[in-house]
Structure 1
Amino acid sequence: MSQTPQTIEPWLREILRCPQCKGVLADAHGPSGAELQCAACSLGYPIESGVPVLLVDLARRLDA
């Protein structure tokens, strides 16, 4: 079960989108913990201390 729903307010979660392609972000658990993943451009954005880090330069390639 993802930690994201407890750490991000539901109203905010609904409006978050991938900064690269504006795609929908899915709750996931990556190698470093909770993250938001974009299936459209294959990027995973970390969630640090309950705050999504939506910076393309810090995103993880999902195919790597």
Structure 2
Amino acid sequence: MTGFDPFAELPEGFAMALAQDPAALDAFGRLPKDEKAHYVTRSHQVSSRDEMRALVSELDHKRTF
């Protein structure tokens, strides 16, 4: 996946949900590019606010200290 910039290609709803959850945003930022691409792709398939929150919540659980 050359040239993939997940922050430039984030769907608006996903970006807004991440902005509301700093821990999830931090976790997303630490992911390798292929995993970021996976989450971006999944975010395109979300059909409700609750589904988006669930997707972002998954990221919050991926935090590493």
Structure 2 length as normaliser, TM-score?
A: 0.37
* Higher share of residues assigned helix: 2
If asked which structure has higher relative contact order (CA below 8 Å, sep 6+), I would say 2
More strand by share: 1
